[in-house]
Amino acid sequence: EVQLVESGGGLVKPGGSLRLSCAASGFTFSAYSMNWVRQAPGKGLEWVSSISGYSSYIYHADSLRGRFSISRDNAKNSLFLQMNSLRAEDTAVYYCTKSGGANPLAPQDYWGQGTLVTVSS
Amino acid sequence: QSVLTQPPSASGTPGQRVTISCSGSSSNIGGNAVNWYQQLPGTAPRVLIYSDSRRPSGVPGRFSGSKSGTSASLAISGLQSEDEADYYCEAWDDSLNGRVFGGGTTLIVL
């Protein structure tokens, strides 16, 4: 059974940093692209970043490039999102998702339950 | 403002057929596959339709997807109360080099 468990969310002050983690199990982690998607309170889904199986291809939303960075550790079946210079508008539930194939363009076929990041003084 | 345009809401009565539209451009829907996600209240989204019209195992046949040019549609037939949810379309955008979502459509079963 595929499982994606996010951690690392919490309350952080504006300008601060946070590193989110996603522990994956139930599939051959390195064979699949992975993604982060966020959802602000009461708002829609917003794609954050995608990474291919061996990190050859990395994509970030234009609005977040330079502040957010995606990475993965295939030996530990883990996905990460480093978030710097956080702003109030980054407050959201952050979902870790698995792509349906090696291609980062593949549909997101599994989603974690999400971790809440709150940016506030 | 989302790159893909969806109506903010839709509604129907039990048993009815409803459709939700998703409008884009040649850089996203016009050239790449469209996926649809369902988000029930208080839960994480799940994929409902992928590659324009394909249904994952476990998704009822009442749900179907189609695409024409730069627009896509999700159809739900035999509407049920448990279909009340938010629905999002998604595609890859070649100009932005990333995924784009529609703003979401809240479906209300009257």
Q: Give tens-digit pLDDT for A107-121.
A: 999 999 999 999 999
Average pLDDT for residues A7-29, to the nearest whole number?
97
pLDDT > 90? residue B1: no
Chain B: nearest CA to A46, how far in angstroms? 7
pLDDT classification of B76: cutoffs 50, 70, 90: very high
Nearest to A45 among B45, B56, B97 (CB): B45
Interface test with A, best of B99, B100, B105, B106 (most A CBs within 10 A): B99
A95 to B46: CB separation less than 8 angstroms, yes or no: no
Q: Among A26, A51, A35, A32, which residue's Cα sits nearest to residue A94?
A: A35
Work out the mean pLDDT of chain A and round it to a whole number: 96
pLDDT > 90? residue B5: yes
Q: DSSP state, B78?
A: S
Work out the mean pLDDT of chain B and round it to a whole number: 96
pLDDT classification of A66: cutoffs 50, 70, 90: confident
CB B38 within 8 A of CB A45: no
Per-residue pLDDT at A28: 97
Residue of B nearest to A108 (CA): B47
User: How far is residue B33's CA from residue A52's CA, in Å, rounded to a whole number?
Assistant: 18
Question: In the A/B pair of chains, how many CB contacts fall below 8 A?
Answer: 56
Average pLDDT for residues A5-28, to the nearest whole number?
97
pLDDT, tens digit, 9 for 90 and up, residues B10-58: 999 999 999 999 999 999 999 999 999 999 999 999 999 999 999 999 9
Per-residue pLDDT at B53: 97
Question: Which residue is it, tokens 């994606």?
Answer: A4
Bridge-based pairing state of the strands A115-119 and A10-12: parallel
pLDDT > 80? residue A65: no
For residue B65, the SS3 value is strand
Per-residue pLDDT at B69: 96
Nearest to B56 among A62, A95, A109 (CB): A109
CB A65 within 8 A of CB A17: no
Which chain A positions have a beta carbon within 8 Å of B100's beta carbon? 47
Nearest to B104 among A35, A45, A62 (CB): A45
Q: Is A105's Cβ below 8 Å from some Cβ in B? A: yes
A109 to B47: CB separation less than 8 angstroms, yes or no: yes
Per-residue pLDDT at A13: 97
